[in-house]
Chains A and B, each alone.
Chain A
């Protein structure tokens, strides 16, 4: 069915006045090309190459802009020429380009390679300028579709931090200018080009005014944005965290994820937003004196942000095999599970503290995962209970295995304990000291630069490193995809929570050859337990108690938890049998600790301390970049040279065109030239007394020639035949004489315009 069509229009004020190419359009186009190039360059950290990109982009855009608006018929030729030159350059440099693209991709995807130099992508970026300029030009000026480019550039900008690409303020400003000004130009009808055979379209004068006004206002917004970012960025980030926390918690509560128990060894690469939902209910036979660690997971192999579960069964099997008891591997495993608890129990003094009896009840009713206290033995009578399970365990301070106190009939068990421990220790020396060095090159290099041997030294180094280079926060932000979490935490963000501290400490222990495991579960403070009416001590464990720590293997203790997360005051909370805080302080004083990683070369591009400082750093960098300042003269050169060539070509073309014109067109051009020179402004050449007036204005010209010229033109216009060649030549001769006479009367700037812009002479 046919529909009614509507069209709104307001008649233009001055339809004759046609605005051609606006400088606003040229600037917007150049800003867009430069912004996209800068974003790509920022990915490989080659800001300093901007000195060559920006002038080239400006020159290319200016050429396209000029040809399109002022020499439309040369446009296809220009595009073809540009394509041929770019194609030829791409062909000649094909191997370089392929290599650069490959290096660029590798650099983006594997940021973790320490001290890797930025790949040289200058040639590729330069060759991108022409197609990029043409793309922007076609979309904005031919198809008049800004939304595609707006979405593309915003997406590029939006997802850059995912690959840890930080931008300079200049890039952001260029992008804003391009996006907003072109938007206004498109929306206000600022970009209107006359169709070939349609001269009825109105000029776009007001659209450009709107764009200029908006650009001015945008500048104010940019200044205000800079001030706000500089002064209140912390508050804004806190606000963002609060928002994300609200969404995260709400989503967790609605989806029921808040009740999920802590499992697995996946390191979170985002913020932590506990909801306070209860996970476990613990019941102790008496009041504890130490923090209780309930282990749910121990990490074996680290595979970039994720730990595989430790396979003790395999290790114990190998240990049994080493001891010549491979057929008893299941017995060995069962013995090992309770070994330290049992040995401590059997070698205790009569008046030594009794083990704690712990009952664990999962509040969500699911018992797929069990949580085990250290130095413990599972109570077999609770194995089938759906309402919780029980463990008997000793606190760390109560662990005191003295094999000499073993009763004679338990001598064999003591011997078996000793040999199994040695065999296990021997096995884990290779298994739990493995690290993917290629993923954590900076940590590997750090350990190599600080060779340490004894456990106290190593522990001191690791905990001091963590305490002095990172602070605890539950919202450290998201780790970029191409960074390892541990290195990003220690070298870039300098803040994180238990998972990040434990991960980094575990990797460092392993790098120093100390068998260590990443453990997750719950940490319950002794003060969390309250006395119940039935005499037991109870505590409800929530997701706020979810925790990660390091396990190191100590003789006569087995796997022992080591707290890697600093205390609330920022000091080390590490504590394990043999760890002496006095030694720790002495070692620190001895090394004159300087907190190396934070002052290392890998300073963050995305600043975390003070954005104003980042801006001043950017400015300092700009000022110190002598290469950039020295190359500033290239900017006008790059614009002037093509401009001069274009103007020269334009003049020659116009003069040639005038030579091939017929006498009527030459006469019209003569009138146009007179008007340009400010002569006979109110005459259009058709007046009877025009020849007389022209003779009076230009006395250098013979009056009879002028009169004859007018007659010839009249004859050409109204006569039955075209004038002869001689008559045509006479008109042209008068035109040339007149142009010289008018030229002499002009001032210098108008002379330049007369000769090179209008090409009358």
Chain B
């Protein structure tokens, strides 16, 4: 547009100069034509002397904060080089259509390191692609194309919000202590010694309490308490029609993240299940801390749409091995316990709901 306007005005000046035989205008237009030729030569010069080099292929960041992707522009010329443009194509993993955006930049330093700051409104997996960088002359009239084929995967994680869940019902007493626990606590020793008894024939040598036996000159056997299940299960229904909508999937990921962190404050282990494709058995992941929760999100981000599309559109059945006390969360943000709706979250007010709501179960 700028180039068109510039040349149109030059043409108009030249044309007017010939209409009125105005040498002043002829001189003006000739000087500008010569300048334009010089700028064209300058863009060729820059094209020869600028090379682009990628620094990183993947970046991870938090939603709402800048993700920084860096690359280098190595310039070997002697004339000062300033302006360049980076045409980008980008899409979320769920989206089929790429969007385009051209970024303008000015090279301020000689080491050539350029940072591209990306702030995404949704969490998920974002793919950025570029195939060239355009370097410009000082008037920005002529772009010189520099090949720069590069793809960057930007993983955008949800912000750390925690859903407040209180397990008050007596049915949860077996698995919760009622005390808030840090996420780092894990079930180090689920086999607690109930009592010691004297040795009976047939007892395993492995269960002899050697210290007590040495002190009393009798063989004592450790009798263990029966192993308890101290985990909670969450079945994800990712078969919904919202899978292609980054806005809804963003809400789903944020809610899952907040819910899992909220559960981990009360329960040492959260088991997360989901079905993909035509699998008869669900995928199982055990989460005991925040980093494992992020791993789950990464695994979900990487799920192919085709895989989820093949799964049943109706809510998946709770597998037998999970047991009866199983939470469910679907992409419509409905949170259920044994198919009974606990709460229907909304994508618009999710942050407020997560912050304000206290769920007493």
**A: which residues have CB within 8 A of B?**
1-13, 147, 151, 154, 157-158, 161-162, 166-169, 171-172, 175-176, 180, 183-184, 187-189, 202, 206-207, 209-211, 213-214, 217-218, 220-222, 224-226, 228-229, 233, 236-237, 239-241, 243-244, 270-271, 477-478, 480, 493, 606-608, 611, 614
Q: Is the CB of A477 within 8 A of B19?
A: yes
Supposing A168-B24, A606-B20 touch, asked if A4 and B14 sit within 8 A by C-beta, the answer is no
Q: Is the CB of B38 within 8 A of A270?
A: no
Say how far B90's CB is from chain A's closest CB, in angstroms: 7
Please tell me if B16 contacts chain A, counting CB pairs below 8 Å.
yes
Q: Is the CB of A8 within 8 A of B104?
A: yes
**Mask: chain B, 8-51; 1 = CB below 8 Å from A; 0 = not:** 01001111111111111111101110110010000000000000
A167 and B21 alpha carbons, distance in the complex (Å): 12
Please tell me if B109 contacts chain A, counting CB pairs below 8 Å.
yes
**Mask: chain B, 103-140; 1 = CB below 8 Å from A; 0 = not:** 11111111111111111111000100000000010111
Supposing A4-B120, A6-B117 touch, asked if A210 and B19 sit within 8 A by C-beta, the answer is no
Q: Is the CB of B35 within 8 A of A188?
A: no
Contacts of A606 in B (CB 8 A): 20-24
Q: Which residue of chain B has the shortest Cβ distance to A188 in the bound complex?
A: B82
Q: Is the CB of A9 within 8 A of B117?
A: yes
Q: Provide the main secondary structure of the chain A interface.
A: helix
Q: Is the CB of B119 within 8 A of A236?
A: no
Say how far B290's CB is from chain A's closest CB, in angstroms: 26
A296 and B122 alpha carbons, distance in the complex (Å): 78
Output the residue of A1, A224, A239 with the most chain B CB within 10 A.
A224
A101 and B196 alpha carbons, distance in the complex (Å): 114
- A6-B88, A12-B109, A229-B23 are known; give 15 further A-B pairs, CB within 8 A: A1-B247, A2-B121, A4-B90, A8-B114, A9-B116, A10-B73, A11-B115, A158-B13, A167-B24, A207-B82, A221-B35, A225-B31, A240-B19, A244-B19, A271-B19
Say how far A5's CB is from chain B's closest CB, in angstroms: 5
Please tell me if B193 contacts chain A, counting CB pairs below 8 Å.
no
Q: Provide the main secondary structure of the chain B interface.
A: mixed
Selected from B2, B27, B116, B140, the residue in CB contact (under 8 A) with A7 is B116
A619 and B66 alpha carbons, distance in the complex (Å): 60
- Number of B residues near A (Cβ < 8 Å) is 62
Q: Is the CB of B30 within 8 A of A228?
A: yes
A243 and B247 alpha carbons, distance in the complex (Å): 57
Q: Is the CB of B38 within 8 A of A237?
A: no
Q: Is the CB of A9 within 8 A of B82?
A: no
Supposing A183-B139, A608-B21 touch, asked if A244 and B106 sit within 8 A by C-beta, the answer is no
Output the residue of B31, B32, B113, B126 with the most chain A CB within 10 A.
B31
Output the residue of A6, A183, A222 with the most chain B CB within 10 A.
A6
Selected from B82, B104, B118, the residue in CB contact (under 8 A) with A4 is B118
Selected from A10, A224, A477, A608, the residue in CB contact (under 8 A) with B106 is A10
Contacts of B66 in A (CB 8 A): 7
Q: Is the CB of A229 within 8 A of B18?
A: no
Contacts of B122 in A (CB 8 A): 2
Closest 8 A-B residue pairs measured CB to CB? A240-B18, A8-B105, A225-B31, A2-B121, A611-B23, A161-B20, A221-B34, A225-B30
Contacts of A213 in B (CB 8 A): 79-80, 138
Q: Can you name 20 A-B residue pairings with CB atoms under 8 Å?
A: A4-B120, A8-B116, A10-B107, A10-B109, A11-B109, A171-B24, A172-B24, A187-B83, A217-B38, A218-B31, A220-B38, A221-B32, A221-B35, A221-B38, A229-B23, A237-B21, A244-B15, A244-B19, A611-B26, A614-B23
Q: Is the CB of B88 within 8 A of A236?
A: no
Q: Is the CB of B114 within 8 A of A189?
A: no
Q: Is the CB of A175 within 8 A of B108?
A: no
Q: Is the CB of A206 within 8 A of B14?
A: no
Supposing A5-B119, A210-B138, A480-B20 touch, asked if A240 and B15 sit within 8 A by C-beta, the answer is yes
Say how far B124's CB is from chain A's closest CB, in angstroms: 11
Q: Is the CB of B31 within 8 A of A607?
A: no
Q: Is the CB of A13 within 8 A of B108?
A: yes
Please tell me if B194 contacts chain A, counting CB pairs below 8 Å.
no
Q: Which residue of chain A has the shortest Cβ distance to B86 in the bound complex?
A: A8
Contacts of A478 in B (CB 8 A): 19-20
Q: Which residue of chain A has the shortest Cβ distance to B30 in the bound complex?
A: A225
Please tell me if B101 contacts chain A, counting CB pairs below 8 Å.
yes
Q: Which residue of chain A has the shortest Cβ distance to B27 in the bound complex?
A: A229
A470 and B187 alpha carbons, distance in the complex (Å): 109
A493 and B19 alpha carbons, distance in the complex (Å): 12
Q: Is the CB of A4 within 8 A of B35?
A: no
Contacts of A3 in B (CB 8 A): 121
Residues of B203-236 contacting chain A, CB below 8 A: none
Contacts of B5 in A (CB 8 A): 151
Output the residue of B23, B26, B86, B104 with the most chain A CB within 10 A.
B23
A384 and B283 alpha carbons, distance in the complex (Å): 101
Supposing A4-B120, A9-B105, A189-B82 touch, asked if A161 and B115 sit within 8 A by C-beta, the answer is no
Contacts of B114 in A (CB 8 A): 8-10
Supposing A7-B117, A176-B32 touch, asked if A157 and B138 sit within 8 A by C-beta, the answer is no
